[in-house]
Amino acid sequence: MVRSFIHVEPDSHFPLQNLPYGVFRPRSGGDPRVGVAIGDQVLDLAVLDAVGYLDPAEAAGQGLFSKPSLNALMALRRPAWSELRQTIRRLLDAEEPALRDNAVLRQAAFHKQAEVELLLPVEIGDYTDFYASRDHATNVGSLFRGKEQALMPNWLHLPVGYHGRASSIVISGTDVQRPLGQMKPPDAAAPLFGPCRQLDFELEVGCLIGTGNALGAPISVDDAEEYIFGLVLVNDWSARDIQAWEYQPLGPFLGKNFATSISPWVVPFEALEPFRVAGPAQEPKPLPYLEQSGKGAFDIRLEVQLQAESMKEAECIAESNFRYLYWTMAQQIAHHTIGGCNLRPGDLLASGTVSGAEKGTRGCLLELTWRGSDPLKLAGGEERVWLEDSDRVTMTGWCQGDGYRIGFGEVTGRVRPVGQGGG
Ligand SMILES: O=C(O)/C=C/C(=O)CC(=O)CC(=O)O
Ligand SMILES: [Ca+2]
Ligand SMILES: [Mg+2]
């Protein structure tokens, strides 16, 4: 197995096979710039580019890495991403002396991850959220509309989604303020206004678009993966009481626009190739524009941890897998653009809550507690139906290779009570 001269623990999320991109700022100061995670280090690509170490890659020499976002890099095409990735991989290889034996450059180019601040890596222009897990859609449908109408008649024919809100996407670690809103409990005669009482998380995977398409020029399902730059973890925080009252007939609005958290490291799509698998069988067969040849799902293990303020450590409350999704990322992209809609570099297409068939694989509290009828019992006697103030939700994910992991790191956030200011 290929190894780096940088030490990488076997359970590290960031071995040489991964090389995810992020935007960071050293805690000691300096401007935001682009880096790559390796073991517990960050490699500063702006430093490497400045000394010509990334030459002759197409991405080199253009100032792409001394920017506060990955967008300019994402706007290049797949061959350029692939070439850059190979260049970085070679420079980090244990057998390659160029960087390994240049102590002065190494000193300037590497930072401990613990000594940098990770920033929102992408300027996200548009955010779309799908609803691609059949188990999630069936469960939510049963809970919101009753068993008979669990899965809407369109669901097996197209990837259902809604246009989300990009402005409130925040980086992992940002506190999330409990939203205020309008809700109508079943026993109330009129709607109430106040802090959300049914705050939830949603375990999702986000697909970041690299290459865009022109307005009016759809992306075909079999070309769609060429447009994907990389993936992140997404927590689509949801106010279930606000959502349940407002959503008909146009779908989620304020119930989901107050915050969406993403993980800081963008895992290159190319790194996931060894973990490609077939997704669930699709019956009825989708219309030709959605029919994908080959396998379109990826085996990514996902976990949700919850930590109440009284708990010494976080407790795992759900284990799921990205491969459970019914609709693939390629199908989502093909559907999104079939009417002519243009995607732009940096757009986020989230998968929708990733739930599986077993109870412990459900990706949100709405399902895990069956809308409150089956509370979760946590360590130290804590019980949860919905999130309480100061609860911390952490999601993690990784592909398990033979002796290595392609990891996503984590997306974490803590619930802050209403009225404690911004930031
Ligand atoms: O079926 C409904 O009314 C509920 C929809 C959602 O909760 C939308 C959503 O965020 C989709 C998802 O995460 O899978
Ligand atoms: Ca969602
Ligand atoms: Mg959201």
Check residue 399 and give its pLDDT. 98
Check pocket membership of 136 for ligand 1, CB cut-off 6 A: yes
Say yes or no to pLDDT of 297 above 50: yes
Output b/e per residue, 134-170; b: 16+ Cβ within 10 A: bbbbbbbbbbbeeeeebeeeebeebbbbbebbbeebb
Threshold 0.95, pTM exceeds: yes
Token pair of 109, please?
Answer: 């180019």
Check residue 421 and give its pLDDT. 55
Check pocket membership of 129 for ligand 1, CB cut-off 6 A: yes
pLDDT, one tens digit per residue, over 79-88 is: 999 999 999 9
**Is the domain of 201 the same as that of 301?**
yes
Say yes or no to pLDDT of 155 above 50: yes
State the distance from the centre of ligand 2 to the C-alpha of 256, rounded, in angstroms: 8
Establish if 54 belongs to a structural domain: yes
SS3 content of the chain, % helix, strand, coil (to 5): 25, 25, 50
**Is the domain of 131 the same as that of 271?**
yes
State the distance from the centre of ligand 3 to the C-alpha of 236, rounded, in angstroms: 4
**Is the domain of 102 the same as that of 164?**
no
Say yes or no to pLDDT of 158 above 70: yes
Establish if 422 belongs to a structural domain: no
**Is the domain of 404 the same as that of 279?**
yes
Residue among 200, 228, 197, 235 nearest 213 (CA)? 228
The CATH number covering residue 343 comes to: 3.90.850.10
Say yes or no to pLDDT of 420 above 70: no
Spatial separation of the C-alpha atoms in residues 77 and 74, rounded to whole Å: 7
Q: Which domain holds residue 25?
A: 21-119
Check residue 269 and give its pLDDT. 98
Ligand nearest to the CA of 256: 3
Establish if 13 belongs to a structural domain: no
State the distance from the centre of ligand 2 to the C-alpha of 104, rounded, in angstroms: 46
Ligand nearest to the CA of 127: 3
The CATH number covering residue 29 comes to: 2.30.30.230
Catalytic residue among 13, 136, 335, 336: 136
**Is the domain of 210 the same as that of 326?**
yes
pLDDT, one tens digit per residue, over 217-273 is: 999 999 999 999 999 999 999 999 999 999 999 999 999 999 999 999 999 999 999
Q: Is 136 a catalytic residue?
A: yes
State the distance from the centre of ligand 3 to the C-alpha of 59, rounded, in angstroms: 33
Ligand nearest to the CA of 257: 3
State the distance from the centre of ligand 2 to the C-alpha of 203, rounded, in angstroms: 8
Say yes or no to pLDDT of 423 above 50: no
Establish if 397 belongs to a structural domain: yes
Closest residue by Cα to atom 11, ligand 1, is 131
Residue with tokens 């119930």: 255
Residue 322 contacts residue 300 (beta carbons within 8 Å): yes
Check pocket membership of 352 for ligand 1, CB cut-off 6 A: yes
- Strand 392-400 and strand 301-307: the pairing is antiparallel
- Of 127, 129, 133, 354, which is best to mutate to test ligand 1, by the most ligand atoms within 8 angstroms of its C-beta? 129
Q: Which atom of ligand 1 is nearest to the CA of 204?
A: 13
Q: Which atom of ligand 1 is nearest to the CA of 141?
A: 1
Q: How far does Cα 240 stand from its chain's mean position? A: 21
Establish if 158 belongs to a structural domain: yes
State the distance from the centre of ligand 2 to the C-alpha of 129, rounded, in angstroms: 6
Check pocket membership of 236 for ligand 1, CB cut-off 6 A: yes
Strand partners, 413: 393
pLDDT, one tens digit per residue, over 44-56 is: 999 999 999 999 9
Token pair of 31, please?
Answer: 């401007």
Helix boundaries (H) for 220-291: 240-246
Ligand nearest to the CA of 161: 1
Q: Which atom of ligand 1 is nearest to the CA of 137?
A: 1
Check pocket membership of 202 for ligand 1, CB cut-off 6 A: yes
Strand partners, 35: 22, 44
Establish if 2 belongs to a structural domain: no
Say yes or no to pLDDT of 27 above 70: yes
Q: Which atom of ligand 1 is nearest to the CA of 366?
A: 7
What value does the mean pLDDT take over residues 15-31?
Answer: 97
Question: How wide is the angle at C-alpha 82 spanned by C-alphas 77 and 83, nearest 5°?
Answer: 100
**Is the domain of 160 the same as that of 42?**
no
Integer angstrom CA distances of residue 230 from 50, 78, 145, 269, 325: 25, 11, 35, 4, 17
| Average pLDDT score over the chain | 97
Closest residue by Cα to atom 4, ligand 1, is 140
Q: State the CB neighbour count (10 A cutoff) for residue 106.
A: 16
pLDDT, one tens digit per residue, over 339-389 is: 999 999 999 999 999 999 999 999 999 999 999 999 999 988 999 999 999
Output b/e per residue, 26-36; b: 16+ Cβ within 10 A: beeeeebbbbb
What value does the mean pLDDT take over residues 148-164?
Answer: 96
Spatial separation of the C-alpha atoms in residues 171 and 319, rounded to whole Å: 22
**Is the domain of 270 the same as that of 355?**
yes
What's the domain count of the chain? 2
